Chains A and B, each alone.
Chain A
Amino acid sequence: MRAAFHDLILPDSLLQTLGCVINSRRSLFLTGLPGTGKTAVAERINNALPGAIWIPYAVEIDGQIIRVFDSHCHRIASVDDTPFEYDRRWVLIKRPLVVVGGELTLENADLTWSEAAKFYEAPFQMKSNGGTLVIDDFGRQRVAPQDLLNRWIVPLERRVDYLALHTGKKIEVPFEQLVVFSTNLEEDDLADQAFLRRMGYRARVEPPTPAAYSEIFKRQAHTRGIRYQQSVLDHVLNKYRVEHRLLKGCEPRDLLDRATDICMFEGNSPELTTQILDVAWRNYFGTSHSFDSSYRFAPGAADDAVMDSKLADPLEL
Chain B
Amino acid sequence: MTQTTLLSRVELESMGPPLAEEISELGIGEAFLCDLALKHVAMLPEPTTSSVAERLHLPRALTEEILEKLYREKLIEVRLQTAIGSTRYSMLDRGWDRLQRLLSICGYSGAAPVSLNDYAHASAVHPFASRFVGDSACGVP
Contacts and interface: CB of A to CB of B under 8 A. Distances in A.
Contacts of A174: 119-120, 123-124
A100 interface: no
A64 B57 contact: no
A96 to B, nearest CB: 12
Nearest to A87: B17
Interface in B111-132: 111-116, 118-120, 122-124, 126, 128-129, 131-132
Contact of B114 (A60, A64, A130): A60
The residue in A19, A23, A50, A87 that gathers the most chain B C-beta atoms within 10 A of its C-beta is A87
B14 interface: yes
Interface in B86-138: 103-108, 110-116, 118-120, 122-124, 126, 128-129, 131-135, 137-138
Interface stretch (A9-17, A148-156, A216-224): A9-17
Interface string A256-297: 000000000000000000000000000000000000000000
A39 interface: no
Nearest to B131: A50
Nearest to A85: B19
Contacts of B57: 57, 88-89
B13 interface: yes
A101 to B, nearest CB: 24
Given A12-B138, A89-B111, A22 B120 contact: no
A86 B17 contact: yes
B23 interface: no
A81 interface: yes
A99 interface: no
Contacts of B105: 118
A88 B58 contact: yes
Given A81-B13, A87-B16, A130 B123 contact: yes
A12 B128 contact: no
A256 to B, nearest CB: 28
B135 to A, nearest CB: 4
Contact of A119 (B32, B107, B123): B107
Contacts of B14: 83
Contact of A57 (B9, B110, B126, B138): B110
A22 B114 contact: no
A162 interface: no
Contact of A54 (B112, B126, B134): B126
Given A19-B134, A25-B128, A50-B133, A58 B110 contact: yes
Contacts of B9: 51
Interface residues of A, number: 55
B115 A48 contact: no
Contact of A176 (B18, B32, B126): B126
B83 interface: no
Contacts of A52: 13
Nearest to B132: A23
Contact of B123 (A4, A64, A176): A176
Contacts of A2: 135, 137-138
B116 A65 contact: no
B140 interface: yes
Contacts of A176: 123, 126, 128
Contacts of A57: 57, 110-111, 113
Given A19-B138, A23-B129, A67 B16 contact: no
Contact of A82 (B16, B19, B108, B118): B16
Contacts of B134: 1, 19, 23
Nearest to B26: A89
Given A54-B126, A86-B19, A87-B19, 19 more contacts: A12-B138, A19-B134, A23-B129, A23-B134, A24-B129, A25-B128, A50-B133, A56-B122, A57-B111, A59-B113, A61-B115, A66-B116, A89-B112, A89-B113, A117-B107, A118-B105, A130-B128, A172-B120, A178-B128
21 contacts: A1-B138, A2-B135, A15-B138, A16-B138, A23-B132, A24-B129, A50-B129, A56-B119, A57-B110, A81-B13, A86-B18, A86-B19, A87-B19, A90-B16, A117-B107, A118-B105, A118-B106, A119-B108, A129-B123, A174-B120, A176-B123
